[in-house]
Structure 1
């Protein structure tokens, strides 16, 4: 029922937002920049803010057309290599003959599209042959496609790694750290030729018993039945995935924003000042961030509930109880895949120690093949985007890949 109410509200507000954007664009043409049109500039700024606050369910473009390698620009083409109803292995193919390390970026299925990792990919592109898991919005997946739970997520990681072929590497951002660790363990046990040579786990909830955050406390403070009753709903029949049970992306976004509501309010007040003051560079940066942040995707209910139960409530991975397709997952059997874990000093979603727990679980790896990096000054998103990712974290990822290649 809540999904229908949310969608009705979206349907009601869409024409209002379109009117605000259109009116603002027209009035902006009469702004001369002189003091006598200052009130008009204030009005157009307010209209733009009103018009840009809506949630969308459409994946934004990655937007990569070229990348600078050495002293020349190289064309980049997005090529789907393998697709299922739930996701696509997307290859950022570059027009070069130079062989580069093949890196699979596993994006989180946690309410945002894979394009949230645009900054991650941008830094990786010049020196690596980059692939990404481009997950599909669950409300666009018909019921006939079947279920999608933790096993199916791991299936996709393994299949995508096999599509990339031997000698690849994997980098998991946030939530997929657990299924990626399980996938690599399963591939190692079966001696799969496509087992990645290195695995980077970034700000992922391997052991959420360590320094619990508000996210962890929410999971521990409610039963799985509470989550299913209060946070899972049915996609309206007007959409392709009508009838599918999902955790609506809008709810996930609301939860994330509520954790830092003051920060978002300040950001929009600052955007109003940017627009009135004519600071186009800062205004454009704000638009780019919120265009991405407000684009949400629904999660299959099976995957969401299984993640809450096995990762956040019952801690299957650190307790040695995690299963994949009925078989116990054994991280200690990972013996040839270098491991790098990365954490943020100020991460309020995945606390210090939760990702580094993977180092102890991978006891079959020699000490020289695994390490943890604590990024000072970084929050959750700063681990995989922005200047700290580019200047301090990525060099360690590059070193790990080079050492394993």
Structure 2
């Protein structure tokens, strides 16, 4: 019933939001006579803020149309490589007429970015993708808002997430380098572990960033909530059915608006100050800072509904049973054994100030992946970075990305060097290693 009340409130506020937007322009447009009335700028700023606080935020677009490769700007086209009921695998295809650059791009490593299914859309990783495109062929998982999925498509469990990741890895090919950000570090490690146990080729490298591999280490407020409330509490208090005005009507979900309320509740003072600063920027005519605020909150306020089965599975498996680190997690009857991974290199990344995944949670992957030689295991702590700083913004571009790029490149070169060996036995060994 809460979801229906929320939709009714949203429908009621919609015309007021549009009225506030139009009125704000009336008091700020240079050709409007109201612009020259006393306190016009203050009135315009207040109405603009009212509009942004009450408007509906749609899923943003990646809007990556070009990227610089070397000294050349190349065009980028977003393509759907594979489509599933709950996710699309997107590829960012690069184009150029510059023959040397084209040849260089063909030889660059392939990266699969597994985006979180945890409230925000995959566009939250826009900065991640844009940086990677300079030196890599890039694919990314684009998870579908559950309220838009017809109930006839069936349920979506954590096991299904693992199966999706495996299918995407197979589709891209064994030469892929997998990067998982936040929540997907756990199902991605499970997916690759199961592939290794079956003797399938595994990715060349695994980069895991700010994820709850072992949520018992340095628990955060997010971890404590998941660990201190019972499974039944979550099922009874945060799971609702999609209203009739969406294609997924009747599907059980963890609604995006509830998740957004949780995001705000974690740092209410910070968000309040940010909105006040936005109001003052509008008053001062500081368009650059105002645009930065809009860009950030257009992304931050755009949330999706998560399938209830997947969310509840994650609460129990990751934050209550700690099944991965305890060695008790089974996916469709198969035990998840990270120690079976032997050929993939591993890089873990943590932010010093991460308040979502605490210190040591991601690094715990090294304790599980005992089959990977120590010479192929690496860890990087990002000084001064919070959760979002490890994959977006200045610290990502200047500190983290060079580490990720060099890590992937070193193992790309390693495979190529082994493949050029003149000895047949060495070539076979290299082929096995690449797989």
TM range (shorter): over 0.9
Structure 2 vs 1, CA of residues 54 and 115 (structure 1 numbering), >3 Å: closer, same or farther? Answer: farther
Task: State the 4+ residue runs in structure 1 displaced beyond 4 angstroms.
Answer: 30-33, 35-38
Q: 2:218 aligns with which of 211, 215, 224?
A: 211
Structure 2 vs 1, CA of residues 55 and 224 (structure 1 numbering), >3 Å: closer, same or farther? Answer: farther
CA deviation string 1:182-229 (max 9, x = no partner): 011111122323x21101110000001111111111112111000000
Separation of aligned partners in 2, 1:312 and 1:272: 39
1:351 aligns with 2:358: yes
How much has 1:31 moved relative to structure 2? Answer: 7.9
Q: Secondary structure at the match of 2:77?
A: strand
How much has 1:401 moved relative to structure 2? Answer: 0.7
Structure 2 vs 1, CA of residues 268 and 57 (structure 1 numbering), >3 Å: closer, same or farther? Answer: closer
Separation of aligned partners in 2, 1:364 and 1:259: 38
1:223 aligns with 2:221: no
The equivalent residue for 1:90 is: 90
Separation of aligned partners in 2, 1:316 and 1:31: 64
The equivalent residue for 2:172 is: 164
The equivalent residue for 1:41 is: 41
How much has 1:37 moved relative to structure 2? Answer: 4.9
The equivalent residue for 2:16 is: 16
Where structure 1 has 5 or more consecutive residues not aligned to the other structure, the ranges are none
Confirm or deny: 8 A CA contact 2:194 2:334 kept in the other structure. no
* Larger Rg over CA atoms: 2
Q: Secondary structure at the match of 2:361?
A: coil
How much has 1:166 moved relative to structure 2? Answer: 2.6
Separation of aligned partners in 1, 2:282 and 2:83: 42
Where structure 2 has 5 or more consecutive residues not aligned to the other structure, the ranges are 97-101, 413-435
How much has 1:365 moved relative to structure 2? Answer: 0.8
1:258 aligns with 2:226: no
CA deviation string 1:145-168 (max 9, x = no partner): 011111110111111111111300
Confirm or deny: 8 A CA contact 2:57 2:298 kept in the other structure. no
How much has 1:173 moved relative to structure 2? Answer: 0.5
1:101 aligns with 2:109: yes
Q: 1:310 aligns with which of 293, 306, 317?
A: 317
CA deviation string 1:221-267 (max 9, x = no partner): 11100000000000012210000000001111111110101000000
- TM superposition score normalised by structure 2: 0.90
Confirm or deny: 8 A CA contact 1:59 1:295 kept in the other structure. yes
The equivalent residue for 1:188 is: 196
The equivalent residue for 1:81 is: 81
1:63 aligns with 2:70: no
Aligned residue pair count: 404
Separation of aligned partners in 2, 1:36 and 1:169: 58
The equivalent residue for 1:140 is: 148
Q: 2:408 aligns with which of 398, 401, 404?
A: 401
How much has 1:70 moved relative to structure 2? Answer: 1.8
CA deviation string 1:96-145 (max 9, x = no partner): 53222110110100111100111111111111111100000000001100
Separation of aligned partners in 1, 2:14 and 2:313: 34
Confirm or deny: 8 A CA contact 1:119 1:386 kept in the other structure. yes
Confirm or deny: 8 A CA contact 1:234 1:245 kept in the other structure. yes
Structure 2 vs 1, CA of residues 56 and 137 (structure 1 numbering), >3 Å: closer, same or farther? Answer: farther
Q: Secondary structure at the match of 2:27?
A: helix
